[in-house]
Structure 1
Amino acid sequence: MGKLIYAANTSLDGYLEDEDGSFGWSVPDEEVHAFWNEHERGIGTSLYGRRMYETMRVWEDDGWLTGEPAVVREYARIWRDADKVVYSSTLDGVSTARTRIERSFDPEAVRRLKEVSGPDLSVGGAGLGAQAFRHGLVDECVLLLHPVIVGGGKPVLPGGVRAHLHLLDHRRFGNGVVHVRYAVRSNA
């Protein structure tokens, strides 16, 4: 049975994006990129909301990768090898391989997907992540805390949800980013 992992970059004050929708402050250096590569290697299926999918689909295109460091090109290969489920009621189609659209988030379908999956699953995006948390589907939370305060924007964690967590792992990177990994023990 695969675990559902919510993984995200966050500012120290708890935002995925700043008030302008920018997340340029979280662009990883090589060490952090290598961490994300290793994390993503264990993911068999990624669940995305429409906006997160539109952000991530750049990894399907080789054109811009030519001059990029090996760690970046490696991430593209890892991303392409995973299955992707995009939850959108407005997206007409997908432009990436191994990708399917679901028109609505069905918690029972996600539970079944977890039960039949060998590798872990990830959920990306604040809106979809919030739904997964609210339905008690998230098994682990992986956050990379960046040494920046952005003052507002899109929160990394959902409001109105209470969960008890257990620290599984942590790490400090050379650029000041801190990784924390928690097991979600229960929704309270």
Structure 2
Amino acid sequence: MGRLVYAINTSLDGFIEDVNGNFDWSVPDEELHEFYNDMMRPIGMQLLGRRMYETMAVWETDTSLAQESEVLADFADAWKDSDKVVYSTTLTGPVTTRTRIVPDFEAAEVRAWKAASPADLLVGGPELAAAALHAGVVDEIRLVLAPVSLGAGKPALPTDLRLNLELVEQRRFDSGAIHLAYGVRT
């Protein structure tokens, strides 16, 4: 049975982007990108909101990224190797392989995918993650805290939900970023 993991880059004060929608502060160095590669490689399915999908689709649609370095090529391969479910009512079709567009998040469907999957599933994007957290289907939250404080912006976690968590992993990077993984207690 697979677990549903919410993984996101966040500022130290808990925002994924600033008030203008910028996230240029979260560009990973090579060490951090290798960590992301290791995290992505075993993922069997990604659940993505429209904005996260449009941001991440470049890993398949822009082949020049994979030519920049071995680390980036590895991430592009990991992206292409997983199935993707994109939740959107406005997209008319996918621009990447192994991708399907569905209009609504259904917790029962996610539970069925988890039960049938030998690999973990990844949820990307704070709005979709909030829906999954509210539905009680997220098993683990993985935050990479960047050494920056934004003061305001889009929060990484829902502001209207209490979560009881257990620290299961931590790692510090030379850049000053810190990875924290928490199991979601039920």
Q: TM-score range by the shorter chain?
A: over 0.9
Provide the C-alpha distance between the structure 2 equivalents of 1:75 and 1:88, rounded to a whole number of angstroms.
Answer: 24
Shift of 1:38: 0.1
Deviations 1:98-134 (A, max 9, x none): 0001110111111111110110000000100000000
Deviation by residue 1:31-90 (Cα, 9 ceiling, x = unmatched): 000000000012100000001000010001243225412101110011000000000111
Distance in 2 between residues matched to 1:67 and 1:94, nearest whole Å: 23
Task: Give distance in 2, aligned partners of 1:128 and 1:104.
Answer: 10
Q: TM-score, normalised by structure 2?
A: 0.98
Q: In 2, distance between residues paired with 1:46 and 1:67?
A: 24
Aligned to 1:159: 159
Counterpart amino acid of residue 168 in structure 1: V
1:157 is aligned with what amino acid? Answer: L
- Once superposed, which parts of structure 1, at least 4 consecutive aligned residues long, lie more than 4 Å away? none
Q: Is the CA contact 2:66–2:76 (under 8 Å) kept in the aligned structure 1?
A: no
Q: Distance in 1 between matches of 2:84 and 2:63?
A: 21
Q: Distance in 1 between matches of 2:165 and 2:65?
A: 38
Partner of 1:163, secondary structure, is coil
Partner of 1:23: 23
Partners of 2:10 and 2:100 in 1: how far apart?
27
1:48 alignment partner, SS class: strand
Mapped contact 2:3–2:140 kept (Cα < 8 A): yes
What is the identity, as a one-letter code, of the residue corresponding to 1:100?
R
Q: Indicate the percent of aligned positions where both proteins have the same amino acid.
A: 53
Unaligned ranges ≥5, structure 1? none
Where in structure 2 are there 5+ consecutive unaligned residues? Answer: none
